[in-house]
Amino acid sequence: MADLNVEVEESKPQDQEQEQEQSPLLIADQTHQHQQQENQEHRGEDDHDTHLDKTLQRLDSLLTLLGFNQSSVFSFGLSCVVFLLIGVSLPVVVLVLSDCSNCEEYQIKAFEIDVVVSQAFLAAASLLCLSHNLRKYGIRKFLFVDRYSGHVERFANEYNQKICDSVRLLVLWIVPCFIMKTAREIIRMLYVQHESWWHSVAILLALVVSWTYVTAIFLSACILFHLVCNLQIIHFDDYGKLLERESDVLVLIQEHVRLRYYLSKISHRFRIYLLLEFLIVTTSLFVILFQTTVYVGPITYINGGDFVTNPGGITIFGWTVDRGLINTIFFIELSLVLFVFGKTVVFASE
What pLDDT sits at residue 218?
92
Concatenate the DSSP letters of all residues of 212-250 into one string. Answer: HHHHHHHHHHHHHHHHHHHHHHHHHHHHHHHHHH---HH
320: helix, strand or coil: strand
Concatenate the DSSP letters of all residues of 50-111 into one string. Answer: HHHHHHHHHHHHHHHHHT----SHHHHHHHHHHIIIIIIIHHHHHHHH---TT-TTT--HHH
Rounded to the nearest angstrom, the gap between the alpha carbon of residue 132 and the centroid of all alpha carbons in its chain is 15
More confidently predicted of 312 and 74: 74
Q: What is the mean pLDDT of residues 146-168?
A: 78
What pLDDT sits at residue 237?
87
What pLDDT sits at residue 82?
94
What pLDDT band is residue 318 in, cutting at 50, 70 and 90? very low
Q: What is the mean pLDDT of the chain?
A: 76
pTM over the 0.75 mark: no
Task: Determine contact, residues 233/227, Cβ cutoff 8 Å.
Answer: no
What pLDDT sits at residue 152?
62
More confidently predicted of 204 and 246: 204
Q: Please report, as a single letter, which amino acid is at residue 116.
A: V
What pLDDT sits at residue 212?
93
